[in-house]
A and B are shown apart, each in its own frame.
Chain A
Amino acid sequence: MIDRVTDMLDQAGFALSSPEVLMCIVAGSTLLVLAVTAALRRPEHLLGRWTMIGGSGLSCAAAIGLIVLFSDPMWTPQDARQLELYRWLSISGKPEFLVSLALRVDALAAVLLATTTLVSFFVAISSPREESISQLPLAGSRAFPEMDGGPLRHIESRSAATLLLFATVMTVLSANFLQLYLFWQLQTVAASLLAGLWRGDSRSPAARKLLLANRTADIALAAGVCMLWVNFGTLQFADILSPASLSDLSERKTTVIGGICFCLFGGAIGKCAQIPGYVWVHGVSGGSSRMNALLFAATLPLAGVYLIVRCMPLFAVAANAQLLIALIGAFTALLAAAIAMAQSDLNRVLAFSTSSVIGLVFLGLGTGSPQGIVAAVYLLAAHALAMSLLHLASDAGGRVPVGSVNFDDPSGSRFQAPAAYWTFLIGALMLVCGLWGQHAIVDSVWQTSPTAVTAQQTLLSSIALLSCFLTALAIFRGFFLTFHGRIERPHGTGGIDGDPHKHSRNGTQWPLVVLAIIAVVSGPLLGSPLLGGPHGILESLLSRANVFTPQAVAAINSVGGQEPAGLFGIGLSLPVSLLGVVIAWMLYAPPREWPDAVQKTLGPYVRLSQNRFYLEEFYDLFLLRPFHGLAAFCRFADRVLIEGGLVGVIGKLPDWAGRAAAPLENGSVQLYALAMLFAASVLLFVLLWMGG
């Protein structure tokens, strides 16, 4: 009996030590959650909440198991595990078109899966209890901007959130480019459903903007995928990204790959809200904090960065594309941080900070060096944890339990919600200077040419430093304004039941604390590029994921081959970030008058920043209006020229012909005879001529 039990345990353990089983668990549990939440009809049903928590927790555990499995040094960069589910579409021909729905996992995918599922798990845990939902007022409640439309909307938004999680997980688990594109777009749709539902009907233009901006960017991605198929004859990651297919390239093929890389990055621009695709951030980020945690920390940027990291072997061939990534990343980091500085709403500050941090991630990827890539992936994961902590803490500590946190509203939740206060502080410190991600990236940019100082390197690293400073300033400005502001309560607007913080006490504190601990611990655990030294866990994981060039992998594997990270980054960027924190503290911590004075002196700049550098207005003026004008013109042309002109004229032709011929039919027999004679002579002539 005992033997059998141990046997079974052994078998279970064996099953759990196979990546295939684990990735099936990850995908399957998210799919199950999606099915259950979509099928539920009553919002107060406990099943919905617990499936979400259980499902995301289970998939998170499986993803961490995958990381553990892949930290075994037996894996080489080429042997990812792949499991074919079913044949989606296949067409014979040359080249054969074959797309299967398959799950494919390697170390890179495992890291990103763990990140996204972990964040979703904590978002699920800290969502409000069902008993409080069933008591929600129905449509039109002002206290619950998120709940416009009542419980029904809550179910729908929960389904959308699980769909978003499922799409993200499947994007990361994709085995070929078409499958990636499929789930990539599904993720966009889910995100826009979520944004549209949580924000209430009147504000759903934000959701439409998200969808359209991303679809426009996806033109580039679709073109890239098509070009891959035309040029490589396959869409499998394993075939395209293998060193064999990318070695000994002709010059033409190198150019083509450069073009493909541009296209792929075009898709990522939309997802990661980089220049010029960040137009959707402002609208969407006005929603609830938990939604923002899902959208901005766990899902959208993650997918975009994943695509680029996955295609690093392609980018290694195309130096121009790498430079483009680095430039766009750097400028987005700067611009988004500048926008984040002037926003009057904590959610928006955090959303634009995300954009800025992801810009730094792209800057790291743009260096193309192993150090830069490791730092980028590290910063992405660390940012997801810290940023979700910030969102959830602001959710718990804001003026109302959910919804926008506006700085103009009375605040001062330091005393009412100490847990939120401290966890937010920890998260912000981690994000700004605790986890070394930014500093490692600055360092890796500096390391791109270790011998001589180039203009490009100087430009990029100084922009990165500046954006570190601005991000720190923006986040801590938000922090101080939210938690250290005036403590006053205007009469009669104290939220529901007169106590604005009733819900924040409602047992939502311990998830925050746990998440804060995880965010702090995960740095050293993953092997922060500086803390863990040059041979951190993340680096060894990524060296088994076909991300680096073979030479770099060889250098990493030969002991001591890799240069230890320099002190340039930490020596310069840590003080700069801290300076940002300190300045924010001096300006905003106690309520003072002179932030207003500063704002006045910097008037035009602040207005520019508040209005997101008028990019949306620019698009409106130079893209949307001309398009609408063109549409109106086409409609006019259709009405007047085609329907009225062409068709009208053709329609009148028989009439005209009749009128023209009418005088001939006037009853004059002589005329008829003349015509007959004429025709007969012509006929005779033709016959004679033909016969001769």
Chain B
Amino acid sequence: MEFLTRFGQTLLDNIVFMMVMLPLVGACLVMTSAGFGIESIRRTALTNVVLSLLLAIAMVTHYNPLKRTATGKPELMQMVSHNLIWLGSEHRNPADKSNSRPAVTGLNVRCAVGVDGISLWLVALSVLLTFAAVLSSWGNDSERPAAFYALLLLLESALIGVFAALDVVLFYVCLEFAVLVLFFLVSGWGGSNRRHVGMTFALYNLAGSLLILLGLIGLVTSYAWMQSLQPGGNPRLVFGIGEMTHGLRSLTGDGSVSQQYWLYARPWIFLVLVAGFAIRIPLVPFHTWFATANVEARSTVSVLLSGVVLKIGCYGLLRFVVPIFPGICPEAFGFLSPVVVAGVVFAAFIALAQDNLRSLVSFASISHMGICVLGITTLNLVGVTGGLLHLVNHGLSVAVLLLIVGIIHTRSGRQSWQSNDAASKRRPLLKWFLAIAVLSLIGVPGLNGFASETLLLLGLFDSNPAHAVWVLGANVLLAWAFLSVTQRVLMAGPSGVFADLSGRQLAMLLPLVILIVWIGVAPHFFVARIEPSILELLSAYSSQ
């Protein structure tokens, strides 16, 4: 019995690692089941994402934001598994009987994963949206199904890896891997212009990744260099994100030699990193790759693209830029945020000029991502929490919207709605879901967008009221754009397009809609898990 409990505990403690690995295994299984026909491919993929979803639920319930270590310090990074070493090897001195960690020779690059309040909901979001994506491609997957589902699962694994990585190298590998998988997904399945768009997407993102790589190399080498500058210091390359962050902070506190070096090096590293993440966010004017890819890709893919992939940039800001550069962030963000505000308003205006829902969603997403960045640039607890929550909320709402666009597209394309026409006399759930998604995107209370936007605006008002007013104005523009286009969509299609949902479609939409309402009605559950981590993140700022 005790063994079982301990086994269960071990499983729970390594749940994030399992979440990264499970889709990889699933992708292999999908490829092997390709010979058994489309049904078995679908079932394999579905089983895999359902298992992932269960793991994600277990992860969320197992995460305890108030957990403390034995010494009483808050332990925010939980479910950490970091025993797998990629480069370097462990050496345990046989004479040493103590239970301490064995010494590592070589580079010590680890496959270390774990979640804290910043990554928890993003990881859960990746899993949930992959689940919805697999279900939504169920109907129109006649074209190379095995490859498609396998790529979806690979993408899930890569995205979880990006958010959960505790090692710089693992983070970067997953980042690149996600770009490659998406390149195949965009250019393999999609509209007529998909090859060109896929190429633009890949080149743009690889350029962004290159900048991020440069920045990360800069960070790692700077830390090693600064260690050697310390009296009696010994240069050592550190790849653990947490260790590096703390080390960089502790080495630059006083007027030491290493601080001199850091003062010289940090603006460049900061610039390169922010530029890389700005492409990923995407900030105007680096948004072209997203606007085209999101319209051209299959709606299943664009669910993941705008639901999860878009969050990587902001996540990078929160994970690397904000904690490592407390010295220059307040000033630099002062320069950055007017540009972001201009981008938010600009994208909102472009959204107003769109006449179809797909491209409207793209530009609205660009605008919303800018708003999230503004939340982060406030550098106060309320604003940053709002920005992070808004990332999740935007992912949920946009996913519902894009899934519905996919359904409508399929129905009106295949003319299959006539058979369901009688059903529309009853409750047109699809219409209501569409309305809920749109209302949540324009920040109507009772739905999730309101909660995060309120926090964001309060934080923004505290730091820069003028920007807050601009954001409010952009919101009205987006509301205007969404209402006009949605109305046209609701009016244009034959009524049968809004026929009742099948059970499968209900299964993919309902969890998302429930979450949208839940976050709107009682956001405390979600914010309580975020807040301690943001508090820790901003601790460097409050002390100044």
A-B CB contacts (within 8 Å), total count: 123
Question: Which residues from B are CB-within-8-Å of A633?
Answer: 349
Question: Which residues from A are CB-within-8-Å of B285?
Answer: 642, 646
What residue of chain A has the Cβ atom nearest to residue B352's Cβ?
A: A631
Residue in B442, B469, B483 whose Cβ sees the most chain A Cβ within 10 Å = B483
Q: Which of A66-108 contact B (CB under 8 A)?
A: 86-93, 97
Q: Are B487 and A178 in contact (CB under 8 A)?
A: no
Question: Which residues from B are CB-within-8-Å of A613?
Answer: none
Tell me the smallest distance from the CB of A445 to a CB of chain B, in Å: 34
A204 within 8 A of B: yes
Q: Quick one: CB contact mask for A169-213 with B, threshold 8 Å, 1 for yes? A: 000000000100111011001000000000001001100100110
Q: Which of B291, B385, B454 contacts A178 (CB under 8 A)?
A: B454
Q: Are A208 and B487 in contact (CB under 8 A)?
A: yes
Q: Which of B253-274 contact A (CB under 8 A)?
A: none
Q: Quick one: CB contact mask for A631-652 with B, threshold 8 Å, 1 for yes? A: 1111100100011001100010
Q: Are A91 and B479 in contact (CB under 8 A)?
A: no
A41 within 8 A of B: yes
Q: How far is the CA of A642 from the CA of B287 in the complex (A)?
A: 9
Q: Which of A186, A208, A230 contacts B446 (CB under 8 A)?
A: A186
Q: Are B353 and A634 in contact (CB under 8 A)?
A: yes
How many residues from B make CB contacts under 8 Å with A?
54
Given A91-B385, A208-B487, A634-B346, check contact A230 B479 (CB 8 Å). Answer: no
What residue of chain B has the Cβ atom nearest to residue A648's Cβ?
A: B288
Tell me the smallest distance from the CB of B349 to a CB of chain A, in Å: 4
Q: Are B468 and A91 in contact (CB under 8 A)?
A: no
Q: How far is the CA of A635 from the CA of B350 in the complex (A)?
A: 5
Q: How far is the CA of A204 from the CA of B431 in the complex (A)?
A: 15
Stretch from A215-223, A335-343, A521-529, A678-686 contacting the other chain: A215-223
Q: Are A186 and B461 in contact (CB under 8 A)?
A: no
A152 within 8 A of B: yes
Q: Are B445 and A212 in contact (CB under 8 A)?
A: no
Tell me the smallest distance from the CB of A21 to a CB of chain B, in Å: 24
Question: Which residues from B are CB-within-8-Å of A204?
Answer: 487
Q: How far is the CA of A201 from the CA of B431 in the complex (A)?
A: 13
Q: How far is the CA of A635 from the CA of B477 in the complex (A)?
A: 14
Q: Are B531 and A628 in contact (CB under 8 A)?
A: no
Q: Are B439 and A189 in contact (CB under 8 A)?
A: yes
B84 within 8 A of A: no
What residue of chain A has the Cβ atom nearest to residue B454's Cβ?
A: A178
Q: Which of A88, A183, A229, A632 contacts B524 (CB under 8 A)?
A: A88
Q: Which of A104-149 contact B (CB under 8 A)?
A: none
Q: Are B444 and A185 in contact (CB under 8 A)?
A: yes
Q: Are B350 and A93 in contact (CB under 8 A)?
A: no
Question: Which residues from A are CB-within-8-Å of B461?
Answer: 223, 226-227, 229-230
Given A211-B479, A634-B349, check contact A219 B469 (CB 8 Å). Answer: yes
Tell me the smallest distance from the CB of A626 to a CB of chain B, in Å: 11
Q: Are A182 and B531 in contact (CB under 8 A)?
A: no
Tell me the smallest distance from the CB of A211 to a CB of chain B, in Å: 7
Question: Which residues from B are CB-within-8-Å of A91?
Answer: 381-382, 385, 455, 527, 531
Q: Which of B464-500 contact A (CB under 8 A)?
A: 465, 468-469, 472-473, 475-477, 479-480, 483-484, 487, 490-491
In the complex, which range does the number of interface residues on chain A fall in?
35 or more
What residue of chain B has the Cβ atom nearest to residue A196's Cβ?
A: B487
Q: Are B451 and A215 in contact (CB under 8 A)?
A: no
Q: Are B472 and A222 in contact (CB under 8 A)?
A: yes
B43 within 8 A of A: no
Question: Which residues from A are CB-within-8-Å of B469?
Answer: 219, 223
Q: How far is the CA of A241 from the CA of B483 in the complex (A)?
A: 37
What residue of chain B has the Cβ atom nearest to residue A163's Cβ?
A: B446
Q: Quick one: CB contact mask for B281-316 with A, threshold 8 Å, 1 for yes? A: 000110110010000000000000000000000000
Q: Are A88 and B446 in contact (CB under 8 A)?
A: no
What residue of chain B has the Cβ atom nearest to residue A630's Cβ?
A: B349
Question: Which residues from A are CB-within-8-Å of B353?
Answer: 628, 631-632, 634-635
Question: Which residues from B are CB-within-8-Å of A510?
Answer: none
What residue of chain B has the Cβ atom nearest to residue A227's Cβ?
A: B461
Q: Which of B351, B426, B476, B527 contacts A215 (CB under 8 A)?
A: B476
Q: Are B523 and A92 in contact (CB under 8 A)?
A: no
Q: Are B350 and A97 in contact (CB under 8 A)?
A: no
A627 within 8 A of B: yes
What residue of chain B has the Cβ atom nearest to residue A229's Cβ?
A: B458
Question: Which residues from B are CB-within-8-Å of A631?
Answer: 349-353
B136 within 8 A of A: no
Q: How far is the CA of A89 from the CA of B472 in the complex (A)?
A: 21
Q: Which of A143-174 contact B (CB under 8 A)?
A: 152
Question: Which residues from A are CB-within-8-Å of B473?
Answer: 219
Q: Are B476 and A212 in contact (CB under 8 A)?
A: yes
B450 within 8 A of A: yes
Question: Which residues from B are CB-within-8-Å of A182?
Answer: 445-446, 450
B427 within 8 A of A: yes
Q: How far is the CA of A18 from the CA of B227 in the complex (A)?
A: 69
B396 within 8 A of A: no
A-B contact pairs, 18 of them (CB 8 A): A86-B524, A91-B455, A91-B527, A91-B531, A93-B380, A182-B445, A185-B444, A208-B484, A208-B487, A212-B480, A219-B469, A219-B476, A223-B468, A627-B349, A628-B353, A634-B353, A635-B350, A642-B287
The 4 closest A-B pairs by CB, nearest first: A226-B461, A631-B352, A631-B353, A182-B445
Given contacts A87-B524, A201-B491, 18 further A-B contacts (CB under 8 A): A89-B455, A89-B523, A91-B381, A92-B535, A97-B382, A182-B450, A186-B445, A204-B487, A219-B472, A223-B468, A226-B465, A227-B465, A230-B458, A634-B353, A635-B353, A638-B346, A642-B287, A647-B288
